Amino acid sequence: MSPVRPTLQVVGRRMDAEHYRLRDFLTRSAQPYEWHEAGSADADQLLEKLGLQGAALPVLVDVEQTFQGATVESIIAAWGPDYRSAKRKHYDFVVIGAGPAGLAAAVYAASDGLATLVCDTDLPGGQASYATLIENFFGFPEGIGGAELTRLAARQAERFGAELLFLRGVRGSRMNGHDEPVGLILDDGSEVSASVVLATTGMDWTRLELKGIDDLIGDGVYYGAGRSEAAQCSGQDVVVVGAGNSAGQAVLNFANQTARVTMLVRGESLSKSMSAYLIERIEKHPLIDVHLETVLTELHTNDGALSGVTFTDSAGKMQDQAVDGVFLCIGGSPHTEWCSREHVLTDERGYILTGQDLVADGKLPDCWPLERDPLPLETSRVGLFAAGDVRHGSTKRVAAAVGEGSMVASLIFSRLAELGVSY
Ligand SMILES: Cc1cc2nc3c(=O)[nH]c(=O)nc-3n(C[C@H](O)[C@H](O)[C@H](O)COP(=O)(O)OP(=O)(O)OC[C@H]3O[C@@H](n4cnc5c(N)ncnc54)[C@H](O)[C@@H]3O)c2cc1C
């Protein structure tokens, strides 16, 4: 990742999808820029000053260079080394997915001297790069922008010698014999192999289409709800949207920490999607108020901060309520299209099973070939690990993803020793 440049000037059209892609790239790379809407007086003035009236948009003005018809690809190619082709055929360690989990693993593995490659279909940063402010990450009492955090992590990984590929994902895998390297097919058809592979491909949350929601994500409105949030919401009013087990668990965590919880459930009962023991506890808890056949319809703000919500039942009756936090536990889908399900076992929702989660009825799966048990975070394919949001049972938080990624970096050596590779 090249260091942040002085503020760029960009002329483009807000509503054009390609221009949006460029803006998104700059935002998620934590690169400062000023946007001049095409046709506005200041955009015309800038283009005139540069002698670029009539130039193909978007125009991007950097210190040394001006780009016409700028694209993410042309900017990346001009700014950096080649981020789209792998330099080697074989690596000690390949990480699939450059979100917080993958970048953390790369920092530690590369700093331990392993030939490390990290590749991502998109830009580095994962979901965290969309978070305006991450307030619950260790060491940043005032919070840190998600794009800033992941940009620094990517630079740190590179400083230690990790190779980064972006806009270059993994589309398939070759799981040869368990004592042979794993083959990975990149989306341009090229292949690399690795002694150890880590899948940190994350997930996509099901999005709620609500006005103003994007500005509040991470700042009053959250996808998922970890135990740490529950502890911080003691005595507050919170809304939890969802009806699965993760929503049920979240509701109880909040209420047990003395938060007053309003649970919004689209369906007509909880029993379709939630375990009976959770339902029983929810029904008995005095601080939990369940609204069935009800959806969240509006978010209210005061001075830009979340202040309340409106929810609407199936008869159209609307109710306003003041709240301190909204937690969306409406599920999502993990990115596991690239891996062979025959070798990498997942739960029924597609999240990758690792370590002791592979044991069913006291037995390891038939595809497990070794005497030893899988290492923690190791999948049913020996030497292929999974960490972060894509892993079954993960916490879906930046710190948890970073912790798991860092942990895998130390487990690599056990696997390399097994393969007879010494460091
Ligand atoms: C808007 C928003 C705000 C958030 N705010 C907070 C917060 O304040 N605090 C907090 O703790 N958590 C927050 N989270 C959650 C947090 O960002 C995630 O838990 C965390 O990013 C998970 O990290 P990960 O590395 O496991 O996966 P991800 O961040 O999902 O990264 C996965 C990466 O893998 C890539 N990928 C997918 N498929 C492939 C493939 N086939 N080949 C190559 N690459 C692939 C993706 O492009 C992506 O870059 C937020 C999430 C969102 C969406």
So what's the pLDDT on residue 218? 72
Segment 94-116 mean pLDDT: 97
So what's the pLDDT on residue 130? 81
Residues 253, 304 within the same domain: yes
Segment 339-366 mean pLDDT: 94
So what's the pLDDT on residue 110? 97
Question: 100-111 and 146-159 are packed helices; what angle lies between their axes, rounded to 10 degrees?
Answer: 20
pLDDT at 229 over 80: no
Residues 184, 218 within the same domain: no
Residue 408 lies in a domain: yes
Q: What is the pLDDT of residues 178-196, one digit of tens each?
A: 889 999 999 999 999 999 9
Least-confidence region, from 56-70, 221-235, 355-369: 221-235
Distance 127 CA to ligand 1 centre (A): 3
pLDDT at 326 over 70: yes
Concatenate the DSSP letters of all residues of 209-277 into one string: --TTHHHHBTTTEEES--HHHHHHTTT-EEEEE--SHHHHHHHHHHHHTT-EEEEE-SSS-STTTS-HH
Residue 124 lies in a domain: yes
Residues 108, 188 within the same domain: yes
Closest ligand 1 atom, CA of 395?
19
Residues 237, 306 within the same domain: yes
Residue 61 lies in a domain: yes
Segment 54-58 mean pLDDT: 95
Tell me, using a 6 A CB cutoff, whether residue 120 lines ligand 1: yes
Residues 18, 157 within the same domain: no
Residues 199, 98 within the same domain: yes
Distance from C-alpha of 266 to C-alpha of 274, rounded to nearest angstrom:
13
- Residue 248: exposure state from Cβ atoms within 10 A (0-12, 13-18, ≥19): buried
Ligand 1 pocket mutation pick from 28, 72, 127, 168 by most atoms within 8 angstroms of CB: 127
Residue 368 lies in a domain: yes
pLDDT at 64 over 70: yes
- Domain residue limits at 57: 8-79
Residue 3 lies in a domain: no
So what's the pLDDT on residue 267? 94
Residue 376 lies in a domain: yes
Of 266, 262, 257, 212, give the one whose Cα is nearest residue 237. Answer: 262
Residues 200, 217 within the same domain: no
Residue 356 lies in a domain: yes
Please name the residue whose Cα sits nearest to atom 26 of ligand 1.
388
Tell me, using a 6 A CB cutoff, whether residue 145 lines ligand 1: no
Query: Which of 288, 308, 330 marks a domain boundary?
Result: 330
pLDDT at 228 over 80: no
Concatenate the DSSP letters of all residues of 101-130 into one string: HHHHHHHHHHHTT--EEEEESS-TTGGGGG
Q: What is the CATH number of the domain that holds 53?
A: 3.40.30.10
Closest ligand 1 atom, CA of 396?
19
Q: What is the pLDDT of residues 3-43, one digit of tens each?
A: 788 899 999 998 788 888 898 889 888 889 999 999 999 99
Q: What is the CATH number of the domain that holds 235?
A: 3.50.50.60
Number of structural domains, the chain?
3
Segment 50-59 mean pLDDT: 94
Q: What is the pLDDT of residues 253-272, one digit of tens each?
A: 999 999 999 999 999 999 98
Segment 302-323 mean pLDDT: 95
Residues 379, 322 within the same domain: no
So what's the pLDDT on residue 227? 67
Query: Which of 282, 312, 330 marks a domain boundary?
Result: 330
Residues 189, 146 within the same domain: yes
Please name the residue whose Cα sits nearest to atom 17 of ligand 1.
128
Residues 302, 342 within the same domain: no
Residue 85 lies in a domain: no
| Mean pLDDT for the chain overall | 92
Please give the residue that has the higher pLDDT: either 293 or 421.
Answer: 293
pLDDT at 226 over 90: no
Partner residues linked to 166 by β-bridges? 120
So what's the pLDDT on residue 241? 96
Residues 251, 312 within the same domain: yes
Please give the residue that has the higher pLDDT: either 315 or 219.
Answer: 315
| CB count in 10 Å sphere of residue 302 | 9
So what's the pLDDT on residue 369? 95
pTM for this entry: 0.83
Query: Which of 35, 57, 79 marks a domain boundary?
Result: 79
Distance from C-alpha of 389 to C-alpha of 392, rounded to nearest angstrom:
8
Closest ligand 1 atom, CA of 391?
26
So what's the pLDDT on residue 377? 97
Please give the residue that has the higher pLDDT: either 163 or 129.
Answer: 163
Q: What is the pLDDT of residues 387-415, one digit of tens each?
A: 999 999 998 889 999 999 999 988 999 99
Closest ligand 1 atom, CA of 387?
26
Residues 57, 134 within the same domain: no
Q: What percentage of residues in the chain have a pLDDT greater than 70?
A: 99
pLDDT at 150 over 80: yes
